[in-house]
Chains A and B, each alone.
Chain A
Amino acid sequence: GAVVSQHPSWVICKSGTSVKIECRSLDFQATTMFWYRQFPKQSLMLMATSNEGSKATYEQGVEKDKFLINHASLTLSTLTVTSAHPEDSSFYICSASGRGADTQYFGPGTRLTVL
């Protein structure tokens, strides 16, 4: 089956630093990747959708200059949280889907803690 990996699985950083999270599709070409955020006891919220080779589409209320998304290849998308603050602490999950496919395959998530 389709496998999506994320790295790192968890990260602790100081306030003001930037953190990069990688999302890889290991055995299929992911034309579209999605980035979600989940706060404790809340639902997953879509942050942005990225298509390979084009700019990401951000959901309302998500700052594109703060959450930089790059989808440079069919197997890799990155999310960079710039100048992270404690309120950015959350569980970040990516998902990927192939060309013309409806199903999204989820990565294992990255738990970010900003001190």
Chain B
Amino acid sequence: RKEVEQDPGPFNVPEGATVAFNCTYSNSASQSFFWYRQDCRKEPKLLMSVYSSGNEDGRFTAQLNRASQYISLLIRDSKLSDSATYLCVVNSWGKLQFGAGTQVVVTP
């Protein structure tokens, strides 16, 4: 079983719409959680950390459910520039475990 599992997508989203997706993690002792964004053939870039109480950064909202061991990301008012692969990342004892990513394609 993979440490971090994500729906690969693609999620095809009309511009201006809302899209949400989850990831699940297997290590209940994981300490911190992140969403990264990776564009084609580029390195991952930190989008936001994920806190237990849920947090928002502009159009992006992240939630963490420790009991069920899943993390979610919601993107509101999608822009064409939001098209990317979103990586769910879990920190377990200083090591980052990456999901394979969820591809989002925002269409005009």
Q: Which residue of A lies closest to B46 (CB)?
A: A103
B8 in contact (CB, < 8 A)? yes
Separation in Å of the A94 CB from the closest CB of chain B? 9
Contact A44 B8 (CB under 8 A): no
> Contacts A43-B87, A102-B91 given: A111-B98 contact, CB under 8 Å?
no
> Contacts A41-B8, A43-B4 given: A106-B45 contact, CB under 8 Å?
yes
Chain B positions within 8 Å of A36 at CB level: 98
Chain A interface size range: 10 to 19
B1-39 CB mask vs A (1 if < 8 Å, else 0) is 010100010000000000000000000000010000000
The A-B contact count (CB < 8 A) is 38
Chain A positions within 8 Å of B101 at CB level: 43
**A-to-B contact residues, CB < 8 Å:** 34, 36, 41-46, 49, 91, 93, 102-104, 106-109, 111
Separation in Å of the A89 CB from the closest CB of chain B? 14
A44-B96, A44-B98, A102-B32 known, 15 other contacts, Cβ within 8 Å: A34-B96, A36-B98, A41-B8, A42-B100, A43-B2, A43-B4, A43-B98, A43-B99, A43-B100, A43-B101, A102-B91, A102-B94, A106-B44, A107-B43, A108-B42
Contact A44 B44 (CB under 8 A): yes
Question: Which residue of the partner chain, among B8, B32, B43, B46, contacts A93 with CB atoms under 8 Å?
Answer: B43
Chain A positions within 8 Å of B32 at CB level: 102
| Complex-state Cα separation, A46 to B92, whole angstroms | 13
Q: Which residue of B lies closest to A45 (CB)?
A: B98
Chain A positions within 8 Å of B96 at CB level: 34, 44, 46, 104
Separation in Å of the A8 CB from the closest CB of chain B? 14
Chain A positions within 8 Å of B41 at CB level: 91, 109, 111
Top-6 shortest CB links A-B = A43-B100, A43-B98, A44-B98, A106-B43, A109-B43, A108-B43
